[in-house]
């Protein structure tokens, strides 16, 4: 497997401008590639065109083209490697994103492209779909995809925007409680919580938490801290 995948927790950190914290890391991840096929299907309340424009404005060094503008989206993904394109998937609603990927028959082409080394960058929903399934997304299920099964780039669950902050007076479940519900029913499946400003980097057979913030691995009843730049490759080799 020659996967080259950057899974960002978020498009923003704090109150900074769009993709500011991630820009240098994205460009480094892309290497010499500057032609990006952007998948905007996580957008719901904004148009796909405006979403592409926002990404293009944040990454002026790159040529950003929305997948929705191709006459044959499947071919665009299939031919990404020979055309020297990278694939970028933005945030929004994960259920809508996955529903659209199934609708347009893009799941298998995406898996093949990633396995063949086409650089992939995702944030938020775009990172969620890199896990086994989207069952640990934070999003509301506004639409029902044919399956919750995702790209399975990594053999575990991802929880972007992870936070352990509990607002005073808030009586709803905390993020930890929601993740505990998943790990109680699925004790064999790890969930990696990544804070805003951090990312998971998969390079070939190596997985690393990058950025300056710690994260956590949730599995069964255990919550294990993960330090910045920690090697997490053992998660790639776990038995199902």
Q: Residues with catalytic annotation?
A: 124, 139, 161
Pick from 221, 194, 41, 79: nearest CA to 131: 194
Are 150 and 128 a contacting pair, CB within 8 Å?
Answer: yes
- Any idea of the CA torsion for 208, 109, 135, 26, to the nearest 10 degrees? 40
Q: Report how far residue 193's alpha carbon sits from residue 200's, in angstroms, rounded to the nearest whole number.
A: 10
Structure tokens at 31: 């290497």
**What are the C-alpha distances in Å from 162 to residues 11, 87, 116?**
13, 24, 30
């Amino acid at each position: 497997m020659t996967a080259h995948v950057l899974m960002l927790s978020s498009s923003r950190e704090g109150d900074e401008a769009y993709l500011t914290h991630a820009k240098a890391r994205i460009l480094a991840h892309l290497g010499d590639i500057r032609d990006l096929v952007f998948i905007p299907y996580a957008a719901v309340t904004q148009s796909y065109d405006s979403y592409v424009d926002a990404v293009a404005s944040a990454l002026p060094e790159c040529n950003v083209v929305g997948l929705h503008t191709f006459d044959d989206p499947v071919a665009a993904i299939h031919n990404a490697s020979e055309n020297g394109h990278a694939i970028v998937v933005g945030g929004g609603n994960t259920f809508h994103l996955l529903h659209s990927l199934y609708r347009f028959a893009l799941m298998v082409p995406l898996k093949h492209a990633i396995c063949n080394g086409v650089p992939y960058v995702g944030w938020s929903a775009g990172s969620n779909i890199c896990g086994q399934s989207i069952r640990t997304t934070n999003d509301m299920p506004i639409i029902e995809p044919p399956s919750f099964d995702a790209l399975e780039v990594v053999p575990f669950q991802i929880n972007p925007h992870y936070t352990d902050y509990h607002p005073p007076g808030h009586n709803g479940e905390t993020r930890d409680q929601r993740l505990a519900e998943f790990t109680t029913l699925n004790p064999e499946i790890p969930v990696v919580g990544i804070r805003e400003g951090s990312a998971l980097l998969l390079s070939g057979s190596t997985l690393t938490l990058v950025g300056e913030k710690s994260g956590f691995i949730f599995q069964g009843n255990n919550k294990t801290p993960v330090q910045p730049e920690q090697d997490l490759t053992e998660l790639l080799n776990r038995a199902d």
